[in-house]
């Protein structure tokens, strides 16, 4: 009986041959690509992640050692099969179920963080003092452990640490009786054209409360003495409860101005030359005043300037949250907001300054 080829069988054979030829061409290309990569890497080791090793090991196991050696891979068959054996070993590895190894357990991270925090915030505290503070919050740690923690974080013992206090720590210790004063300037249109106006502000460091002392185009000695009298007024002067006033070495803060402050019980503290960071809180206020208000307005005359500054100060004290105060308001709300009440928008300077509150 003679076998007769059907047309569809011939088509199937032709299609299978074409597919096989295409696969061979793809394999040849990949082999050439691998050879080029090996030439580029030379003798350098190719570093793979655990996930990449797993994928190659699974595929390599399916091909077997013989076919892997024929296609000329970047990695030897022994390497790929070793990865596969490691995967099998990991599957049956129950070491994580074994009992905990004997020895001293590691100190919990929360204790480490608190130890470092206490040491940095209290330069005079020794190991025993820190140990006592930790026991007050429920963590009982011996002083030797505290010493090891501080050494690991590069923190010196108390006698050495005591001599490395920061300006920030000094200010916080005296915030109740300290204030700072400084000028900033703004360009204002007047009858004489574009004129520089000097704005004088005083800040209470503890609360960040700011007083607008005044503005003028000529901050002369007489004007400064008047400002000093107003700030130290026994009834409502901004400095009546203050003992120290920080200022830079601007000649405007003259000898007569400083003497008048001293006579009223406020000691002037002149900062070193070229040290704006020592008056950083007031400098930061100037940045907010200008970027959020003054630089967005065209000011005509000193009256308009005073009105804009006072509007910003009202916003600054009662509506603007401050990161330096843990994102709170300087003047706190009278009572917690009513969650059920409608949210209202408050605008100042034509919507330039905006805040949101629950309706009363």
Cα–Cα dist 274/183, whole Å: 15
pLDDT value at residue 282 = 92
pLDDT value at residue 58 = 64
Indicate the pLDDT class of residue 315, thresholds 50, 70 and 90: very high
Percent pLDDT > 90 in the chain is 32
Query: Residue 159: helix, strand or coil by DSSP?
Result: helix
pLDDT value at residue 81 = 67
pLDDT greater than 70 at residue 244: yes
Per CATH, the number for 173-325 is 3.30.420.10
- β-strand pairing of 244-247 with 193-204: unpaired
pLDDT value at residue 137 = 82
pLDDT digits (tens, 9 = 90+) for 62-95: 666 666 666 656 666 667 667 667 766 776 666 6
- Comparing 56-70, 117-131, 189-203, 228-242, the range with the smallest average pLDDT is 56-70
pLDDT value at residue 165 = 54
Q: Per-residue pLDDT averaged across 131-153, rounded?
A: 83
pLDDT value at residue 239 = 92
Q: Per-residue pLDDT averaged across 245-264, rounded?
A: 93
Residue found by looking up tokens 């050495």 in the block: 160
pLDDT digits (tens, 9 = 90+) for 212-223: 999 999 999 999
Cα–Cα dist 141/132, whole Å: 9
Distances (CA, A) of 149 to 104, 311, 353: 15, 51, 48
Indicate the pLDDT class of residue 314, thresholds 50, 70 and 90: very high
Distances (CA, A) of 337 to 84, 345, 358: 63, 14, 6
pLDDT value at residue 356 = 82
Most confident of 85-99, 110-124, 249-263, 316-330: 249-263
Kindly list the domain boundaries of the chain, sorted by start residue.
1-40, 56-88, 109-165, 173-325
pLDDT greater than 90 at residue 18: no
Q: Per-residue pLDDT averaged across 136-154, rounded?
A: 83
pLDDT greater than 90 at residue 48: no
Cα–Cα dist 258/215, whole Å: 19
Mean confidence (pLDDT) of the chain: 80
Strand segments, DSSP code E, in the chain are 178-190, 193-204, 209-216, 244-247, 267-270, 343-348, 353-358
Check: CB of residue 230 under 8 Å from CB of residue 260: no
Instruction: Say what the pTM is.
Output: 0.57
């Amino acid at each position: 009986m003679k076998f007769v080829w059907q047309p569809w069988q011939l088509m199937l054979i032709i299609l299978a041959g074409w597919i096989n030829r295409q696969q061979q061409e793809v394999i040849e290309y990949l082999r050439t690509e691998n050879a080029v990569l090996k030439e580029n890497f030379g003798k350098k080791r190719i570093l793979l992640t655990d996930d990449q090793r797993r994928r190659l090991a699974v595929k390599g196991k399916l091909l077997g050692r013989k076919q892997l050696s024929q296609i000329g891979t970047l990695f030897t068959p022994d390497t790929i099969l070793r990865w596969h054996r490691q995967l099998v070993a990991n599957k049956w590895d129950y070491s994580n179920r074994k009992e905990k190894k004997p020895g001293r357990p590691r100190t919990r991270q929360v204790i480490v963080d608190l130890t470092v925090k206490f040491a940095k915030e209290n330069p005079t505290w020794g190991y025993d003092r820190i140990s006592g503070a930790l026991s007050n919050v429920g963590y009982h740690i011996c002083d030797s452990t505290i010493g090891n923690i501080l050494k690991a974080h590069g923190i010196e013992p108390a006698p050495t640490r005591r001599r490395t206090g920061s300006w920030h720590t000094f200010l916080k210790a005296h915030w109740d009786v300290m204030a700072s004063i400084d000028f900033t300037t703004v360009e204002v249109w007047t009858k004489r054209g574009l004129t520089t106006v000097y704005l004088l502000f005083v800040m209470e460091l503890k609360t960040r409360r700011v007083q607008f002392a005044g503005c003028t185009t000529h901050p002369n000695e007489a004007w400064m003495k008047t400002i000093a009298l107003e700030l130290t007024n026994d009834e409502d002067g901004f400095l009546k409860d203050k003992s120290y006033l920080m200022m830079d070495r601007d000649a405007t803060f003259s000898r007569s101005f400083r003497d008048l402050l001293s006579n009223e019980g406020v000691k002037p503290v002149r900062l070193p030359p070229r040290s704006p960071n020592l008056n950083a809180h007031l400098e930061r206020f100037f940045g907010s005043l200008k970027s959020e208000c003054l630089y967005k307005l065209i000011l005509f005359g000193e009256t308009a300037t005073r009105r804009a500054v006072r509007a910003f100060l009202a916003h600054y004290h009662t509506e603007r949250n401050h990161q330096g105060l843990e994102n709170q308001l300087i003047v706190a709300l009278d009572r917690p907001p009513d969650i059920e009440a409608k949210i209202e928008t408050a605008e100042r300077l034509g919507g330039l300054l905006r805040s949101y509150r629950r309706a009363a």
